[in-house]
Structure 1
């Protein structure tokens, strides 16, 4: 008998059994289902229903809340001590111990594992150790004021699986969550079933709705927006991600489904090569500046829909390090032509430059956005090539190893990025720190910027906290604004089409958790 059934029987209560399937039409198949994947919803939609974190961010308040840890405290500027929840078991029946949690954390954050979560790594290497049966200390080799945030990204999986069958870990997740993994039909869907032994069914401090409503969760992969929307319209799906503004407008007044939207921590950017492996013409600031001023940012935001023009930086005013003195780059094609003429006169091979504007096909409206960027650049005299690629082709190309294989190259990567940290430190480390060709697993593996002075100041800023950190990050954001390495194209709201009869609560990180879905009255 499950824990839930036993408690209900002892209390003389009838517990309603979960029933039915809740189907979500998502725009991307998971890259994998490893524990590290819970850090980024777009890479592994729905995975947090199976794999839980130690702490999480409340979708309504934005505050840190307990999940597998019931309490945490700072030991010093490098270490956080956590008290773990008692009586939690993994879906394979093994106990969640401090040793198991420590194994997970060290495995996930190890540079040797080379997981994509390294884009959210801090200034040091993170490791963990058990200091008691239910006590874990997580430490960084460098001072890290953002350690608690990084723990909200760290999925906890069965240590037995990681140690005995690590290859299976990537496609068969074993967690502690309210749903157990069932099947991944590659190219089609993945499913999970209700976990009758989930600790949250009886805990007073569980997150979300603690009465399980659905017997099965089903995540169907549909990169085409029209296909996702059709599934909700016909009742084949209960929720669809990333509808267009037109889709939301069409939902108004319709019976059967509606559109819900909200702000997000995501933005669209154009990451322009400026690394040591870039085409020589892109290392000339006048050429980069010409590219930035060639674009109509208002027009791009209107094209995307559910988007706004950023203030010249990859973030919002509520973020620590936001530089309010900056403004978005001016749309000034005449200035762009003037700058290119000056560069030509000085011998820069502007006419031999062909900028590849490339995006991943799972990015909403990426085809239209890359085409319009190409149009604007061609209008000022910059040759372009438009390319939209599948994730398994695109992803390796935008990491440092791919740079070297194609060097010298001229690429603008049009891509969606999330920043759930509420500050610019993680953003700057992942996007702007100088990449190391000999360390393709590092936090800056996708950076196209290289400036030793910037790196030195960033390393210091990441060890600061409070007002000092804010001021140091603002200075770095201002410096980057004048270097023209990455185009902040749009700040993105996100939306969903949802079937009538359901309410869905989500935060700016837009995590899909079934415990945040309730049946409407």
Structure 2
């Protein structure tokens, strides 16, 4: 059962256990190795990356945040901060947990936490977490030995949520060897980083001095059951599945729906699935350096009407059709009046004919439909979309690229290198905040083309009126915020900027005898992975 009311942080969560297994954890000394086959190698292991579970899977086992989201309730729970309170609309006062040490032996205190927050959220560092930075610049200051104040330069109703996103890293390392921060993380978590074998895996060992072993308010459903963690990189879905089938791994990310069906007949492992806040979507270039032909509203509508979204969802499996927007019904700003874009090839062809009659060179349409190879079943998806658009007379080419190729192209820095491009990015994105402000700012606010550091660095849209309305909405609370966000969501829908393709369930193959608890943000943390009777 999924719990949640509009206005809660998340839509809720549920515990998923291996079928036939008891739900009682076995209390024991950590032993053995937990091997997890994941779908891509991390871009880096910096503290800013704990928010992106797919791009830095499992990093929260080493680097902890100040606050976390409980996977069973969707509520905020203490981690390295034991308490927090609002000073005003822009400032959050947080009490730091006492008696905690980093893996390098240095103490956790207010000064160390402030250093890490300022590092992670610095606009000058321009980390990808800036996409979640909100309306202002986030900074932190120690006000006594164990208390910090976190401040946004603009009023920010989501400041507490943003403190769930970034990790806290050793201030000693940041001062003495900041370059090592990206490949040798030093945190406070239940596991200590061991090594990163490029192209193969990264690993960690259990932390015998973890504060959670003695704290009454430690997070998780178990103290660590495994002595070692190893996250093995396997882009190919079949390779991940084979690792569990052979017993080489205890868990594997993102099996297909057919593989989940097949697992029902297996005794050695099962497939566990659950809803997520993750969406597959297509973002169509609109302005900036895009081909001007894509600014014609008839062309854009024709592209969207030429896509059979329901058919794509069936092809993807473990997914449902989104209601014309990137959000669940519980999210602040969800617009009940919107519907999925219809599949109407006849209307699409009529719009193209109308544009051609007005002098638009339809023959110059050649949209690149590009996806990242770590997205499950991406080759099948982009090929199907290409065939659909070809069927209504829209020229295209399909391409699947590695993260190293794909990521730079979909950020501001890559725009100027491809003038007059025609691109639809097929990508996945989460909205773990339960608030549309996060998605609207990162996807649709006008980016500064000469400053690739801001929250809208991946936006392909630019409209001054929209930006003004979004800026006003970001500072609102309650029903006023909900109504303002709904209006902005409708504007995005009506202008055919992003086509929501699927609301994704997430699935895992899990060895029998292991119980995995996760929420809609699908964090893989060993303290939520239990050995059971």
- TM-score tier by shorter-chain length is over 0.9
Aligned to 2:312: 300
Q: For 1:56 and 1:126, locate their aligned partners in 2 and report how far apart those are by CA, in whole Å.
A: 18
Aligned to 1:468: 480
Aligned to 1:342: 354
Alignment deviations for residues 330-383 of structure 1 (CA, whole Å, 9 cap, x no partner): 100000000001111111122112100000000001100100110011011111
- Pairing 1:93-492 to 2, within 5 Å after superposition: 93-492=105-504
Q: For 1:99 and 1:276, locate their aligned partners in 2 and report how far apart those are by CA, in whole Å.
A: 41
Aligned to 2:94: 82
Q: For 2:336 and 2:29, locate their aligned partners in 1 and report how far apart those are by CA, in whole Å.
A: 52
Question: How far is the alpha carbon of 1:253 from its aligned partner?
Answer: 2.1
2:38 corresponds, among 26, 29, 42, to 26
Structure with more relative contact order (C-alpha pairs < 8 Å, separation 6 or more): 2
Report if the CA contact (8 A) 1:201-1:210 is conserved: no
Q: For 2:335 and 2:223, locate their aligned partners in 1 and report how far apart those are by CA, in whole Å.
A: 44
Q: For 2:432 and 2:227, locate their aligned partners in 1 and report how far apart those are by CA, in whole Å.
A: 30
Report if the CA contact (8 A) 1:243-1:496 is conserved: yes
2:275 alignment partner, SS class: strand
Give unmatched runs, 5+ long, in structure 2. 1-26
Q: For 1:262 and 1:175, locate their aligned partners in 2 and report how far apart those are by CA, in whole Å.
A: 29
Q: Which runs of 4+ in 1 moved over 3 A?
A: none
TM-score (norm 2): 0.94
Report if the CA contact (8 A) 1:200-1:210 is conserved: no
Question: How far is the alpha carbon of 1:276 from its aligned partner?
Answer: 2.1
Report if the CA contact (8 A) 1:301-1:490 is conserved: yes
Alignment deviations for residues 6-48 of structure 1 (CA, whole Å, 9 cap, x no partner): xxxxxxxxx9531100000000101100000101101100000
Question: How far is the alpha carbon of 1:404 from its aligned partner?
Answer: 1.2
Matched, 1:17 2:29: yes
Q: For 1:65 and 1:193, locate their aligned partners in 2 and report how far apart those are by CA, in whole Å.
A: 25
Q: For 2:28 and 2:307, locate their aligned partners in 1 and report how far apart those are by CA, in whole Å.
A: 56
Aligned length: 507
1:175 alignment partner, SS class: coil
Alignment deviations for residues 157-200 of structure 1 (CA, whole Å, 9 cap, x no partner): 10111111111000000000000000000000000000000000
Q: For 2:526 and 2:223, locate their aligned partners in 1 and report how far apart those are by CA, in whole Å.
A: 11
Give unmatched runs, 5+ long, in structure 1. 1-14
TM-score (norm 1): 0.97
Report if the CA contact (8 A) 2:66-2:163 is conserved: yes
Moved more, 204-213 or 94-103: 204-213
Question: How far is the alpha carbon of 1:211 from its aligned partner?
Answer: 2.8
